[in-house]
Structure 1
Amino acid sequence: MSAIREGNSSTAGIAGVIRRRPLVSFFVLALGLSWVAWTPWILSRDGLGVWDYAFPRIFGTSQFTGMLFGAYVGPLGAAFIVTALTGGRAGLRVWVSRLLRWRVAPRWYAVALLAVPIAVLVLGTIASGGQVQAPSLVALALYVPALLLQMLTTGLAEEPGWRDFALPPLQERFGPLGAAAILGPLWGIWHLPLFLTEWGSWPDLTWLNVVEFVAFSALFNVVIMWLFNRSGQSLPIVMLFHVSLNNTVTVFWAEMFPTVGADQLQHVLLIGATVAAAITIALTRGRLGLPRTTPLVGRPAPEAAKIAA
């Protein structure tokens, strides 16, 4: 009986910490759960090679079998746990409602589907000095199926946590720019262990690659925040916008810009994100699309409202 009481006390203690510090708990769980789940992949032959085994390959990569579970259990799993403990069923309903918010103005679908691919292709044309090759018919045929796959993997694993769960209370407490300064870097840092795997081209990487990626994440997040706020906090729109970048680079970049290597690609994306973030901040005067009726930094709300707002 004593052991049972101690176990219940421990559980209650953890739940109590999560209820008192929901945002901190989310970030700790999001990073911790993913990093623990990725450890076998990192130590395998697909990473550091400490353990003599390799993960099964699907479509020529071990990322589906080695990375995907950790991606789901981190941001998505952490958001579910913290929302359930702090907001209960009401909080979960509000959290899920943004994920199902498909009915938005058509212009936001146009922005989500076209803005990033056009920007990436323009940047690639500039970086290659105009040496552009037409994509193959195979690449063109793969674009939409690959986009849908990215929605179910990258988009679904990440956005319900980073933007759906964490962004609204961060903006409420710290304002848009404060929220961007916290969320963007943490989003980038979450990826750090992946640089020790084939995802990060290990062992062919430098510290500059890592720093540039985190900086890019922080700046790209500024634009994602603007779209999240302006689209009425629609997760499908944000997911499409996010994965459009991944998909365009994966499907088209190597074929269309063969003279621009992976290292230069990271430079190009960082420059593009810097320009886009600067323009977004300037044109919105730092509000990043937050409605004028919303105070830049509001008074603290009850915990359930903080998480579900």
Structure 2
Amino acid sequence: MGKKVVIFTIAAFGFTWLMWLPLLMNRQWELHLPFVPGQFYLGSFGPLFGAAVTAAVSGGREALVAWVKRAFSLRFGGKWLLIAIGLPILYGIIAVSTHALITGAWPNWSQFGLTEKLPKLNVWMTAVVWMLTFGIGEESGWRGYLLPELHKRYSLMYSSLIVALIWMLWHAPEFAFNPNYMAMGWGVIGWAISLSYGSVLLAWLCKGSGWSILPVVIWHGGFDLLTASDQAALVMAMVCSMLVIIHGIFLSKKMAQTTPEG
């Protein structure tokens, strides 16, 4: 198992960091290196690449096909689909209400969920982009491959925290070129806590779905729509993160008692 985790991490990080390198160098040293539109989003496919490479290297075509069938399976209960859709909606209702309470005004609905990173896209198109990139690109690796691999040896809770640590390190280049990350300051502590409990929550959702990532992709896309939008920086992102932490804490004790599946 250890060898697979190493191969996965090297491949996932290598792909993503290579995609993000021109963005980092342009930001830090104003080199004006060429890059394609949407290259930031292309970097999201690193975990997918890592999973595919690791499966192929460790077990050939048979292992690769088995990973695809498991990760993208449609055989999961409707309950988990409702949870994947319902939780972000609930987060959104609470976050928008809190925004109105604190700022004294409702968000600008014409700009809801939109970001300058995806100009000219409406809220539905933006949601689809989040799900197809940082949804499928990330979750096919983090929860679709790395988590079940770790769970062969560790509890679901411990496995989810290992995934969270690797997930955090994968984001490292963004602190040198992504304005949202560069502006965090000490807020990085809250970000790390939120990401850790987000990993716990998504591990619970993924295992409940029979290791299919599709409900997780929907949840991830909805969460990104709420927290990565330009308006979310004021209040909504913070509220959504707090809700994830609370939910993760609630799930932690039960998940810590799960036995490895190896």
Q: What interval of TM-score do these two structures reach, taking the shorter chain for normalisation? A: 0.7 to 0.9
Quote how far apart the aligned CAs of 1:29 are.
2.5
Quote how far apart the aligned CAs of 1:201 are.
5.4
Quote how far apart the aligned CAs of 1:239 are.
0.6
Q: List per-residue Cα deviations over 1:134-179 (Å, max 9, x = no partner).
A: 6535748933322222221111211111111101121111111210
SS at match of 2:152: helix
Is the CA contact (8 Å cut-off) linking 2:11 and 2:53 kept in structure 1?
Answer: no
Quote how far apart the aligned CAs of 1:244 are.
0.8
Q: Which residue of 2 aligns with 1:297?
A: 260
Which of residues 155, 170, 173 is equivalent to 1:175? 155
Relative to structure 2, which stretch is displaced further, 29-38 or 220-229? 29-38
1:111 aligns with 2:83: yes
Instruction: State the one-letter code of the partner of 1:297.
Output: P
Distance 2:43 2:185 in 1: 23
Counterparts of 1:260-279 in structure 2 under 5 Å?
Answer: 261=234, 267-279=238-250
**Cα gap change, 1:183 to 1:159, in 2 (>3 Å):** same
Which of residues 239, 252, 256 is equivalent to 1:286? 256
SS at match of 2:31: coil
1:217 aligns with 2:195: yes
**Cα gap change, 1:81 to 1:184, in 2 (>3 Å):** same
Q: Which residue of 1 aligns with 2:127?
A: 147
1:95 aligns with 2:67: yes
Q: Which residue of 1 aligns with 2:47?
A: 75
**Cα gap change, 1:155 to 1:298, in 2 (>3 Å):** closer
Q: List per-residue Cα deviations over 1:49-106 (Å, max 9, x = no partner).
A: 431357565xxxxxx13x233322x211111111001121221111101333124332
Which of residues 22, 37, 42 is equivalent to 1:40? 22
Is the CA contact (8 Å cut-off) linking 1:188 and 1:213 kept in structure 2?
Answer: no
Distance 1:160 1:213 in 2: 22
Q: Which residue of 2 aligns with 1:187?
A: 167
Quote how far apart the aligned CAs of 1:218 are.
1.1
Distance 2:111 2:96 in 1: 20
Is the CA contact (8 Å cut-off) linking 2:130 and 2:225 kept in structure 1?
Answer: yes
Is the CA contact (8 Å cut-off) linking 1:212 and 1:266 kept in structure 2?
Answer: no
**Cα gap change, 1:144 to 1:25, in 2 (>3 Å):** same
Unaligned runs of 5+ in 2: 114-120
Is the CA contact (8 Å cut-off) linking 1:188 and 1:215 kept in structure 2?
Answer: no
Instruction: State the one-letter code of the partner of 2:220.
Output: H
Q: Which residue of 2 aligns with 1:158?
A: 138
Q: Which residue of 2 aligns with 1:200?
A: 180
Instruction: State the one-letter code of the partner of 1:174.
Output: Y
Which of residues 241, 245, 265 is equivalent to 2:223? 245
Which of residues 8, 15, 22 is equivalent to 1:26? 8
Relative to the length of structure 2, the TM-score reads: 0.84
Quote how far apart the aligned CAs of 1:229 are.
0.9
Instruction: State the one-letter code of the partner of 2:24.
Output: I
Instruction: State the one-letter code of the partner of 2:166.
Output: L
Q: List per-residue Cα deviations over 1:205-241 (Å, max 9, x = no partner).
A: 1432333322221110100011101111121111111
Instruction: State the one-letter code of the partner of 2:256.
Output: G
Relative to structure 2, which stretch is displaced further, 140-149 or 226-235? 140-149
SS at match of 1:222: helix
**Cα gap change, 1:122 to 1:280, in 2 (>3 Å):** same
- Count of residue pairs brought into register by the alignment: 254
SS at match of 1:52: coil
Q: Provide the identity percentage.
A: 21
